[in-house]
């Protein structure tokens, strides 16, 4: 399953411009951006996947192009998809990345401890 490589370039550029240390990892048929070893954002096909504060979930769904993330067939609280029309402008993409980065320090790590 391919993902939107142009969107990946745009997201990578924004993370770098913000001097954010991140790891881009191919997973779930797309690419995930990990910040502090935690899933922060990603791309599935041509949609951005955003991990945001669950308290902002309903507000986020009212934004242009934002839909519940139903990757597994069930919606995941705190995760949303943003359709291409919601991130066609760099300022819109940066808005979503900023929301992801704001929540990242509060997010639980899924990294297994040794």
Can you give the residue ranges of every domain in the chain? 5-106
What pTM did the predictor assign? 0.91
Which helix (H) or strand (E) element contains residue 73? Answer: none
Judge whether residue 111 has pLDDT over 70: no
Q: Which of 108, 82, 77 is nearest to 94 (CA)?
A: 82
Average pLDDT over residues 82-109: 96
Judge whether residue 110 has pLDDT over 80: no
Fold entry, domain 5-106: 3.90.1150
pLDDT tens digits for range 20-79? 999 999 987 899 999 999 999 999 999 999 999 999 999 999 999 999 998 678 888 899
Alpha carbon of residue 54 to chain centroid: 14
């Amino acid at each position: 399953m391919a993902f939107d490589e142009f969107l990946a370039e745009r997201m990578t550029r924004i993370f770098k411009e913000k001097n954010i240390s991140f790891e881009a990892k191919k997973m779930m048929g797309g690419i995930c951006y990990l910040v502090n070893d935690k899933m922060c954002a990603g791309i599935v096909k041509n949609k951005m996947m955003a991990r945001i504060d669950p308290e902002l979930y309903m507000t986020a769904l009212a934004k242009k192009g934002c839909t519940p993330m139903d990757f597994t067939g069930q919606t995941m609280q705190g995760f949303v998809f943003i359709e291409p029309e919601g991130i066609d402008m760099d300022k819109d993409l940066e808005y979503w990345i900023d929301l992801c980065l704001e929540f990242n320090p509060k997010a639980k790590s899924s990294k297994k401890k040794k």
